[in-house]
Amino acid sequence: MKNEPSPEAWAEMHRRMVLTRRLEETLGEMFRSGKTRGPIHRCDGQEAVGVGACGALGQEDYVATTHRGHHVYIGKGLDPRRVVAEIFGRATGYCGGRGGHMLIGDASTGVIGGNAIVGAGIPAAAGMALSIKIRGENRVAMTVFGDGAAQTGICHEAMNMAGLWKLPVIFVLENNRFGLTVPQDRQSATGDLAARAAGYGMPGEVVDGNDLVAVFRAVASAADRARRGEGPTLIEARTYRVEGFSTSDMGGYQDPDEVAEWRARDPIRLSASALAPLIGAEEVAAIEAAAREEMERAFQQALADPMPDFAFHAPSSPYAEAH
């Protein structure tokens, strides 16, 4: 079937989801023991969105993500060790410690990049798509953004231009039901965010955001459409934020039953049970164990890496020579 992942591709995505989960869990443990710096925004339970979406793209395609983008970093194939190194401010991190976990970028794999201003990734991807169109390239640009970002004004501006100019861009709306601590039905005039696509002259589609293959299929088909010059697609991937907004979140606003229901629909377990008939349950277990080990090794290596040296950054400093 067209836009169906091969068993090998699915296994690789499954591996990346497990890598991401282990990253998030380890960060949670390290936060609790006081070993992290600044906030961490975990994406546990949402791995299928970032990994499935990135899995449907090529290395040359661009992606812009959010403050909660670890599944996109790992999904697009970044080196776990360098991701962890950036989170811990090491010289070996993707930004040499300048960016932190929200601003990781790697031009060589098209990750341009994390963004901690809610909504900013949306025009960023539209601008990359404009660049692709001006240069006549065959790439696509994608943004993964939340239901909170969908309420910003810049989202409207960017989607309008993307639709107007038929830009090769994929808008993956990762609806995790919360913008900060406020549930989506108290932030949005409509519960059907994908329906907004009609106002921008593009197709809008709802997919189960905890179903890796459903996300993959939707994005692969949107990418085909974009490469054919038919313009953007809005994909609303419905999922749930089972951890807090960030490590500083003190909770108290989520329905525990609802959280439990979504935890029971764990995207990794769903993927594992559907993948097992294709490659064997033992192989799935082996992939998961190897991924967990790889992430643990990434932490060990990254934490042993050196801290960066400070340097002024003054390409346009009014008086650089005076420092």
Q: Which residues bind other proteins (CB under 8 A)?
A: 62, 64, 95, 98-99, 103, 105-108, 112-113, 115, 117, 120, 122-128, 130-132, 134-135, 141, 153-154, 157-158, 160-161, 164-165, 313-322
CA 97 to chain centroid, in Å, comes to 20
Shortest Å distance, C-beta 72 to other proteins: 16
How far apart CA 289 and CA 293 sit, in angstroms, is 6
Residue 55 or residue 114: which is nearer to other proteins going by CB?
Answer: 114
SS3 of 38, please? coil
CA-based angle 225:227:232, to the nearest 5? 50
Cβ proximity to other proteins: between 98 and 297 the closer is 98
| Shortest Cβ 23–other proteins spacing (Å) | 20
CB nearer to other proteins: give 25 or 157. Answer: 157
Shortest Å distance, C-beta 39 to other proteins: 17
Residue 306 Cβ vs other proteins, minimum distance, rounded to whole Å = 18
Nearer to other proteins, 159 or 295 (CB): 159
Closer to other proteins by Cβ: residue 27 or 112? 112
Instruction: State whether residue 171 is helix, strand or coil.
Output: strand
Closer to other proteins at the Cβ: 137 or 185? Answer: 137
Shortest distance in whole angstroms from residue 158 CB to other proteins? 4
Compare residues 18 and 125 and give the one whose CB is closer to other proteins: 125
For residues 127-151, one letter each, b for 16 or more C-beta atoms within 10 angstroms of the residue's C-beta and e for the rest, the string is bbbbebbeeeeebbbbbbbbbbbbb
Query: Residue 183 or 308: which CB sits closer to other proteins?
Result: 308
- Cβ distance 214 to 13 under 8 Å? no
For residues 134 and 126, what is the distance between their CA atoms, to the nearest angstrom?
12
Distance of closest approach, residue 154 Cβ to other proteins, in angstroms: 5
Q: How far is the CB of 216 from other proteins (least distance, A)?
A: 24
The CB-of-202 to other proteins minimum distance in angstroms stands at 16
Contact partners, residue 160, CB within 8 Å, separation at least 6: 200
Tokens 């010059």 sit at which residue? Answer: 229
Amino acid at 41: H
Place of tokens 């936060």: 31
Q: How far is the C-alpha of 278 from the C-alpha of 82, rounded, in Å?
A: 32
Is the Cβ of residue 289 or residue 320 nearer to other proteins in the bound state?
320
Q: Residues with Cβ < 8 Å from 243, sequence gap 6 or more? A: 24, 28, 42, 44, 45, 249
Question: Which residues contact residue 135 at a Cβ distance below 8 angstroms, ignoring those fewer than 6 apart?
Answer: none
204-208 and 169-175 beta bridge pairing: unpaired
Taking the complex as a whole, how short is the minimal distance between the CB of residue 178 and other proteins, in angstroms? 22
